[in-house]
Amino acid sequence: MEKIVKIMVFAGIAAVVAGCAGKSGDKAAVPGAAAVVPSVEVVTAVSRDVPQESSYSASVEAYATNNIVSQSAGRIRRINVEVGDYVTKGQVVAEMDRLQLEQTRLQLQNDSTELARIRSLYEEGGVAKSDLEAMELGYNVRRSTYANLLENTVLRAPITGYITARNYDVNDMYAMSMPIFTVQQVVPVKLKVGISESEYSKVHKGDKVSLTVDALPGRSFTGRIERIYPTIDAATHTFLAEVVVGNSDRLLRPGMFARVVVCFGSLNNVIIPDTAVVKMEGTGQKYVYILNADNTVSFVPVTLGRHIGNEYEVTEGIAAGANVVAKGQASLKDGIAVNVL
């Protein structure tokens, strides 16, 4: 009886195994069965002139900054301007005590009268030429002294710009420790831009640049390179280019953070849609799939340049006219056949 049970169990197992094998064999034997062919969209790579631009950050600076001081200590009798006032070159901004100036003015008047008298006597032969020359020398010295005192008593703005600092009040004793005023010229303004040393030979005096500032969203400004510094910073590997912006509307102010775009000309390079570029995970490598004549695709590494809108500039890897897969790369492998939509 026990032998009969074992024979029946083994027979059942054998039947199950045979049935499974039969099903597997039937599936493999289905004629016409094949892997699914992925569908892709393809674009043709084109070439065109691409501006070679780089963006740098910089701060807006006053074109010139002057401190207004007197050459001698004295009491400040009048303050005519305040911080934030826009002054023009030559405008009187402050006046010092005038006592010494007035004394010198009176002495100069007296010297002028005496010189006229000596000159008249000389013409009549009443005095020697040496006396006339001595009087003329004394008068000229006094006149120079008066001009210097006048310049340092009636203080004028040396440039046109904004008063950005006032360190004294009326009736303060000016002790020459700090300037009375600081004035900054903002028409134009300048920026010192640190540019990569690899671009040194591409930058020239007079080149135009564009810039934007965070403080004025939606506005852009145009400037030009006025000066290129002759040395390169060994730590940052950059050199300075001084950019001047007209700023006739005085919107740009010293201290504003700016982004400056410098153009180094243009190059004729291949352009492809940015959707065609695939990034290799774990590396910085970029690649594209190229459609071959037999409807297979090839994996091709590329070197990218600028990202322009929804396109990439390709500097190495493919040539103009290549058929590049723009959509459907997720299921692709090198050498696989595809269906082009």
Summarised one tens digit per residue, pLDDT across range 204-245 is: 999 999 999 999 999 999 999 999 999 999 999 999 999 999
The one-character DSSP state at 296 is B
Q: Which residue has the tokens 């420790």?
A: 177
Residue 126 sits at φ, ψ, to 5 deg, of -85, -20
| Confidence at residue 282, expressed as pLDDT on a 0 to 100 scale | 75
What is the pLDDT, as a whole number, of residue 9?
38
Q: What is the pLDDT of residue 34?
A: 54
Question: For residue 177, what pLDDT is reported?
Answer: 87
Q: What is the pLDDT of residues 84-129, one digit of tens each?
A: 999 999 999 999 999 999 999 999 999 999 999 999 898 888 889 9
Strand, helix or coil for residue 37: coil
Lookup: tokens for 138: 């004394």
Residue type, 18: A
Among 226, 154, 135, 229, which residue's Cα sits nearest to residue 189? Answer: 226
Q: What is the pLDDT of residue 35?
A: 67
pLDDT at 301 over 60: yes
Whether 94 contacts 68, CB under 8 Å? yes
Angle between helix axes 99-124 and 129-153 (nearest 10 degrees) is 160
Burial tier of 236 (Cβ tally within 10 Å: 0-12, 13-18, 19+):
exposed
Residue 184: the pLDDT is 98
Average pLDDT of span 294-319: 92
Q: Going from the N-terminus, what domains does the chain have, and what CATH number goes with each? A: 39-50+268-340 (2.40.420.20), 54-62+185-265 (2.40.30.170), 70-178 (no CATH)
Report the percentage of the chain scoring pLDDT > 90. 75
Q: Which helix (H) or strand (E) holds 227?
A: strand 221-228
Mean pLDDT of the chain: 88
CA distances from 29 to 18, 33, 37, 282 (A): 16, 9, 21, 42
User: What's this model's pTM, rounded to 2 decimal places?
Assistant: 0.69
